[in-house]
C-alpha cells in the first residue's frame, strides 16, 4: 500500500487497490489516477446508493424509441435513486414525451422544441410560455439544486437542447435542407445558417434572465459547430 496526497485536506492517505475510496483523514471521496509512472489522487463524485443501477436504466431507455416504455424506465430509475443528478437530467431532457397524447404532431412534447421560441414563428402567448419553461421548469430547478456547479449544469443542459434542436428541426428539416432526386440542394452549413442567425438575433432582442441569457447563444454556437459545421456561415447571415 502506498501513501498519496489527498487534494481535499492536503494530508497523506493510504491508497490501496481500489480505484475509488474515501480519504482516511478527511473522508473526501477520491479517485486514484495514473500520472506518468506514478499515481495521483483526484476528487471524485461519490455514487449514491442505487445510482449505478438507476443510470443503467437511463442508458437502456436511451436505446429504445417507444416513449411510454422509456418513461417507465425513467420512472423506475428515479424511484431507485431520486437524488441522482444524472437520472434527474435524463428526466428533464425527456420532458413530456411519455405523456399520452392524441395530437401526434404536438411538437411541444419534445423538450428541445422550447428553442423554437426564438424562431420568430411562435404566437406571442406560446412564446412567453416556452421562454418561461426554459428557465423555470421545476425539473430544471430540481437538477440545479443537485448540481455541484449550477452554471456548468445550465451550460451543459442548453448544449444538449441546442444539439437536439439543430438535428431535429434545422438539419433534419426539408424546409432548410431540401433534396432533389436524393441530392441535397446547397451545402448543409449554408442552408442551416439563416434560421440559426435568426434565432441568435431573437435571443439578443428577447434575452433570458441571467445567467441563462448568456449561456444560451454560446450553447447554440457550440452546437452548430459540432452538429453542422463552420459558424462563419451564420456570421455571414448577420447575427
Ligand atoms: Zn483528505
pLDDT of residue 181: 62
Ligand 1 mean position, distance from CA 68 (Å): 45
Average pLDDT, whole number, for the chain? 89
Beta-strand ranges (E) seen in 12-128 are 12-15, 20-22, 29-35, 38-43
pLDDT of residue 131: 95
pLDDT of residue 184: 62
How far is the C-alpha of 44 from the C-alpha of 109, rounded, in Å?
35
Ligand 1 mean position, distance from CA 148 (Å): 19
For ligand 1, a single-atom ion, which residues have Cβ within 5 Å?
6, 8-9, 23, 25-26, 28
Contact 139, 153 (CB under 8 A): no
pLDDT of residue 180: 62
Ligand 1 mean position, distance from CA 31 (Å): 12
Burial class (CB in 10 A: 0-12, 13-18, 19+), 24: middle
How far is the C-alpha of 26 from the C-alpha of 24, rounded, in Å?
6
Ligand 1 mean position, distance from CA 32 (Å): 13
Per residue in 96-145, pLDDT (tens digit) is 888 876 665 578 889 999 999 999 888 888 899 999 999 999 999 999 99
Residue spans of the chain under pLDDT 70: 101-105, 178-186, 239
How far is the C-alpha of 20 from the C-alpha of 172, rounded, in Å?
42
How far is the C-alpha of 153 from the C-alpha of 131, rounded, in Å?
18
**How many CB atoms lie under 10 A from the CB of residue 36?**
6
pLDDT of residue 191: 85
Cell of 180: 432533389
* For helices 85-94 and 150-165, angle between their N-to-C axes, nearest 10 degrees: 30
Rg of the chain over Cα atoms, rounded to whole angstroms, equals 22
Ligand 1 mean position, distance from CA 25 (Å): 5
pLDDT of residue 104: 52
Cell numbers 424562431 correspond to: 119
Stated pTM of the model:
0.80
Ligand 1 mean position, distance from CA 14 (Å): 10
Amino acid at each position: 500500500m502506498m501513501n498519496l496526497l489527498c487534494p481535499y485536506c492536503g494530508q497523506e492517505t493510504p491508497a490501496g487497490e481500489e480505484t475509488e475510496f474515501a480519504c482516511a483523514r478527511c473522508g473526501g471521496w477520491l479517485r486514484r489516477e495514473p500520472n506518468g509512472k506514478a499515481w495521483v489522487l483526484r476528487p471524485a463524485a461519490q455514487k449514491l446508493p442505487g445510482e449505478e443501477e438507476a443510470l443503467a436504466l437511463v442508458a437502456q431507455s436511451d436505446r429504445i424509441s417507444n416513449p411510454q416504455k422509456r418513461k417507465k424506465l425513467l420512472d423506475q430509475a428515479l424511484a431507485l435513486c431520486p437524488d441522482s443528478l444524472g437520472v434527474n437530467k435524463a428526466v428533464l431532457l425527456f420532458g413530456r414525451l411519455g405523456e399520452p397524447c392524441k395530437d401526434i404532431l404536438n411538437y411541444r412534447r419534445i423538450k428541445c422544441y422550447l428553442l423554437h421560441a426564438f424562431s420568430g414563428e411562435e404566437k406571442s402567448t406560446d412564446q412567453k410560455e416556452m421562454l418561461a419553461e426554459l428557465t423555470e421548469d421545476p425539473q430544471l430547478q430540481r437538477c440545479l439544486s443537485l448540481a455541484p456547479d449550477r452554471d456548468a449544469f445550465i451550460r451543459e443542459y442548453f448544449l444538449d437542447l441546442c444539439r437536439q434542436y439543430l438535428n431535429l428541426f434545422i438539419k433534419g428539416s426539408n424546409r432548410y435542407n431540401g433534396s432533389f432526386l436524393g441530392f441535397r440542394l446547397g451545402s448543409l452549413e449554408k442552408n442551416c445558417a439563416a434560421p440559426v442567425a435568426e434565432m441568435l438575433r431573437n435571443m439578443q432582442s428577447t434575452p433570458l434572465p441571467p445567467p441563462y441569457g448568456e449561456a444560451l447563444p454560446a450553447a447554440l454556437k457550440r452546437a452548430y459547430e459540432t452538429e453542422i459545421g463552420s459558424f462563419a456561415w451564420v456570421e455571414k447571415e448577420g447575427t
